[in-house]
Amino acid sequence: MRRVEDPAPDLQAGRIGRAHGLDGSFYVTVPRPRLLAVETNVTVAGRRTTIVRRAGTDEHPIVRLEGIGDRVAAQALRGVALMVEQLEAPALVEGEWWAHELEGCAVVDGERLIGTVSRLIELPSCEALEVRREQGGESLLVPMVKDAIRRMAVSEGRIEVDMGFLGETGPGEHGPGPGEHGPPATRQGGGR
């Protein structure tokens, strides 16, 4: 079970990709755009520095860090993670969570314990919770959509899902009929 009092881990803003130009700028791979703003403090290979340039798009951001002054220096760091302290990250709006906040939450359908969130994954159409089942076996993927998730009580370490909508029911149960998906859940945020 997730412990709410655990300190917040650093957030990965992305990884240093190939160099861009001669001034030490580089592409960021697996980016979290919200964490890549100019003047954001980041830790790279154990060294704290600041983002001094941000260009490109959210999908293909280009960043330059203070102290990385040329192409050779940027190339030497290729593949290294850009880490941001969660306390310095932009505030999330109500109904949004960082991925690590969801990990360890109990997943239930009514009073039935389904399992525990092991991670948040990005699918082509949406994000999904990967749930390690209580009874073992193959993991369950729960899309982060209102029809699949009835309620997000992250501060309580609990996420309520609709197993009927997910095509799974317990013994003697039946899923909802066409168009019956239960009450809408609160709006989910991304793991961004």
Place of tokens 């399992």: 115
What's the mean pLDDT in 175-184? Answer: 41
What is the set of domains in the chain, with CATH numbers?
11-88 (2.40.30.60), 92-192 (2.30.30.240)
User: What is the model's pLDDT at position 170?
Assistant: 58
The model's pLDDT over 126-172, given as tens digits with 9 standing for 90+, comes to 889 999 998 888 999 999 999 999 999 988 999 999 999 998 875 44
pLDDT tier for residue 57 given thresholds of 50, 70 and 90: very high
Pairing verdict, β 158-161 and 106-109:
parallel
Assessment of whether the complete model's pTM goes beyond 0.95: no
Pairing verdict, β 61-65 and 26-29:
antiparallel
The model's pLDDT over 15-34, given as tens digits with 9 standing for 90+, comes to 999 999 999 999 999 898 88
Please count the residues of the chain. Answer: 192
- Reduced to 3 states (helix: H, G, I; strand: E, B; else coil), residue 88 is helix
User: What is the model's pLDDT at position 88?
Assistant: 78
pLDDT at 97 over 90: no
| Under 8 Å between Cβ of 113 and 106 | yes
| Under 8 Å between Cβ of 189 and 100 | no
Which of residues 40 and 7 earns the better pLDDT score? 40
